[in-house]
Copies of this chain bind each other. A is one copy, B any other.
Amino acid sequence: MSTSVVLGIDIGGTYTKYGIVDRSGNTIFEGQIETGVHPTPETLISALANIINENIKSKNNQLDLKGIGVGAPNGNYYTGNIELAPNLPWKGVIQFVGMMKEKFNLPVVMTNDANAAAQGEMVFGHAREMKDFLMITLGTGLGSGLVVNGNLIYGHDGFAGELGHVTIEEDGRQCGCGNRGCLETYVSASGIKRTLFELLATETEPSRFWDVSFNSLEAKDITIAANENDPIAIKAFQKTGFLLGKSLADTVAHISPKEIFLFGGLAKAGKWIFNPTKASMEKHLLPIFKDKINIRPSALQDKNIAVLGAAALIWNELED
């Protein structure tokens, strides 16, 4: 008897990751290929098809591939297009889902990587049976997936859920999107580095960071330093958590989620990020929402959430 599986794909600027995933979220096999070496999306898709077909063959046809889910930067659920993604080698509007369907002759569905992560939490993680929740992915930027009444919010054009670009500081830090003061310029791996350098400009306390250049600083060093009681590192987390918590309170006023899940590098800082975030969220919440919304790490924190999420997306679609 063969096992029904789906293919989950996470397209990133550097690597494209893939996994064959069963209905319970077990990964049968997985791997990655370089994205940038492929001059066109078609050659990437051909390379992927060869790998998947060979791997499935090697399992003696015990796997029955039912469909494909894709998470991609600026991936649009409605159109099936990747639209103007700044970090991918291919420019303009790419009809990625159309190309995939042609190559694999299977159902294919796509959304952006943060929405895929939310879908992963809902199908394989802590949000099973949860109707209303918020997923925040903290990487180089800040991504988000908003789930209400059991469904991702896509909005009228498929681009809803861009919480990294709410304005948290008028005329604040320059953002890659062209605006200033966006949340992700403060709350992300690069955001906390910028905050740390701002503190080096305003504070005088001893710190391991006085001898470190911006380009040589990695966000995870700030966690290590906080664990050693570096006062500048601790203040950097306090400010980051304060702004994240304040912004989360605004999002609660919009959608009233039952829980908020954090995923990614910054979320691994544990109490350093969770404590100030929770305190600031509670401070800013409308009284009717106080003391009833949980913030915790994603259940998929140590897994490839975008691949699992893309798989969850297509499982959902196949069962609808």
A residues near B (Cβ < 8 Å) are 74, 83-84, 131-133, 146, 148-149, 151, 153-163, 165-167, 170, 177-179, 182, 246, 249-251, 253-258, 284-289, 292
Residues of B within 8 A of A148 (CB): 148, 153, 155, 160
In the bound complex, what is the Cα–Cα distance between A258 and B154 (angstroms)? Answer: 12
23 contacts between A and B (CB under 8 A): A131-B156, A132-B156, A149-B151, A149-B154, A155-B255, A155-B256, A155-B257, A156-B256, A156-B257, A156-B258, A157-B258, A159-B256, A160-B255, A161-B253, A161-B254, A162-B288, A165-B253, A167-B249, A167-B250, A177-B287, A179-B287, A182-B286, A251-B254
Q: How far is the CB of A290 from chain B (nearest CB, A)?
A: 10
How often does this chain occur in the complex, in copies?
Answer: 2
Residues of B within 8 A of A250 (CB): 166-167, 250
Query: Chain A at the B interface: mostly helix, strand, loop or mixed?
Result: loop
In the bound complex, what is the Cα–Cα distance between A256 and B157 (angstroms)? Answer: 7
Residues of B within 8 A of A153 (CB): 148-149, 254-256
In the bound complex, what is the Cα–Cα distance between A182 and B255 (angstroms)? Answer: 17
Residues of B within 8 A of A251 (CB): 254
Residue of B nearest to A253 (CB): B162
